[in-house]
A and B are shown apart, each in its own frame.
Chain A
Amino acid sequence: MSKRSSVAVIDYGAGNLRSVQTALKFIGAEFSIASNGEEIKSASRLIFPGVGDACAALSILRERGLVQSLIEYYRSGRPFLGICLGCQIIFDYSEEGQTRGLGLIPGVVRRFPGEEGLKVPHMGWNRVDYPEAAHPLLRGIAGGSFFYFVHSYYPVPQDKSVIIAETEYGLKFSSGVAAGNLAAFQFHPEKSGESGLKLLANFIAWKP
C-alpha cells in the first residue's frame, strides 16, 4: 500500500531501479515498489524506469498480467512517468524484437541507423530542447540543458503535438513526450545531475 503522497516505482524484475530509488530518496520523496497489479492499482503516482530490451520487458509484463494494469492506471488520470524503456513501451510498436507496446500514445519506436561516425548506442550527455513552452515537468530547467542518454532505439510519435522535448543525434528525435497525465523521457533524469533531480521533483509535485 502506498501513501497518497508517495510514488510507486515499477519493478518488473529486470530494469535497474536502484538509481531511481536513490534519486527519489535524495530529493526527499517517499516511494514504494510496485511489482504486481494490486500495487499498480493502488499507486497515486507511478514511475516506469528501466534500461534494456523492450521486447523482453513487454513479455515479462504480459506474463505477469501487468499490461492491463498499466493501461488502467493511465486511464485513471493519475501521474505517470516513463523513463528510457518506460518511454518506449508506451507506444504501439517497437522495432526491438518487433513487439507490440502498450499503445498509450500512438507511434512507433525505431532503431538508430548507425550511420558513419554515429555510434549506437547513443550514449552520453546530449542537449534537450523544448519545441514549445516548457512542460510542467521541465519547468525550472533551461531549454538546451544536458541530460544523460543510453539507448539504441528512439520514439517516433504519430501526433507531433505530444512532443515536449527534442534531441539531435544524426537526426532530430523526440526525447520527451506527454499525453495528459503521462510524461515520458528517453534520457535518464536519475543519472542527469541537478537537471534530472529537478525533473523528478517536478514530477512529485505534478498535478496533471
Chain B
Amino acid sequence: MLAKRIIVCLDVREGRTTKGIRFKENRDVGDPVEMAGRYYAEGADELVFYDITASAERRKIMIDVVERVAEVIFIPFSVGGGIGSTADMRQVLLAGAEKVSVNSSAVRNPAIIEEGASLFGSQCIVLGLDAAKDEQMASGYRVFINGGRTPTELDALEWALRAEKLGAGEIVVNAMDADGTKAGYELELTRLISKSVGVPVVASGGAGNPEHLYEVFTNGAADAALIASIVHLGSYSIDSLKEYLQKRGIPVRR
C-alpha cells in the first residue's frame, strides 16, 4: 500500500533556511544542506526547497544549494520559487532536483506547465497553489500569487483542474490562512481539491502537532503533507510523527 508522505519544507533565502508566519516575519533556522542531510537521516519521505531569495544572484545561489543537497540525500526533492521558464526548470533538474514547482509564473503563463510536462514529464511538474477563503469564488477559495501578496481572479478549484489538464503531476495546496499558525491544515480546501483531481495532492500550511497530520490524511484526503516549523524548531522528530500516524492506522514508511 502506498504510504502517506511527510515532506519537509525549507524556505531558502540567500542560501540559508528561514521560516515565516503567514508568509511574513522570516527567521533564520539553519543551513539547508546540513538540514537536508539531517531530515534524510531522520526518515523524511521527501524535501521541498522554496527559493525566496530576492537578489539578482538568486539563481546561482540556489543551483549551488541544489547541487550540494543532491550529493547528500537519496530521496526525492523539489525546488520552487522563481521558476519562470523551461530553461529555469532544466537548470534545477540538471542540478539534481526530482521535480520543479511553479506557482505565480504558472498563473501568469499557464503554458509553462504544458511545456515543462512535455519536455521533462508530468511527474516533474508540481503546481504550487496559494489560496485563501473568499466567498465570492465558486469553490469558496481564491488563488493568490507573489507569495500571497497579490489576489488573482482565479478560483482555486478551477485552477487546480486546469493545471492538471495542462500536465501538472502533483498539486501542493497551500492554505494561506493556516500557514505558519500551527493551528492545523485547511481540511476543507485540501479535501475539495484532492477529491476533484486525479493527481496526488500535498497539503501545506498549518501543521502544529501529529493530530493535524492524521486529520489531513483522513478528513483532508491528502496524499502527502508538508511540514516545516514543527520539525525546524525541534518540537517533534519526523519519526515521532510517523510513529503516531502508524499507531492510528495511517500507512507510513518507517
A197 touches B94 (CB 8 A): no
Q: Is the interface of A mostly helix, strand, loop or mixed?
A: mixed
Complex CA distance for A22 and B73, rounded to whole angstroms:
9
Count class of interface residues, chain A: 35 or more
Q: Is the CB of B96 within 8 A of A19?
A: yes
Cβ-based interface call for B198 (8 A): yes
Question: B195 to chain A: closest CB distance in Å?
Answer: 9
**B72 nearest CB neighbor, chain A only:** A26
Interface pair B1/A193, CB less than 8 Å apart:
no
Chain B interface residue count, CB cutoff 8 Å, equals: 29
The answer, yes or no, to whether A208 is at the interface (CB within 8 Å) is: no
A191 in complex: contacting residue of B2, B76, B224, CB < 8 Å: B76
* Smallest CB separation, B151 vs chain A (Å): 29
Question: In this assembly, does B147 line the interface, its C-beta being within 8 Å of a C-beta of chain A?
Answer: no
A6 within 8 A of B: no
Is the pair A123, B169 in contact by a Cβ cutoff of 8 Å? yes
User: Interface readout for B205-219 with A: 1 if CB under 8 Å, 0 if not?
Assistant: 000000000000000
Check: B199 CB closer than 8 A to any chain A CB: yes
| Chain B 50-94 interface residues, beta-carbon cutoff 8 Å to A | 70-71, 74-76, 93-94
Q: Report which of A19, A52, A168 forms a contact with B120, defined as CB distance below 8 A.
A: A52
User: Which A residues are closer than 8 A to B by beta carbons?
Assistant: 16, 18-19, 22-23, 25-26, 51-53, 114, 119-127, 146, 148, 150-152, 168-169, 188, 190-194, 196-197
- Measured CB to CB, the residues of B under 8 A from A are 1-3, 5, 40, 45, 70-71, 74-76, 93-96, 98, 120-124, 169-170, 198-200, 223-224, 253
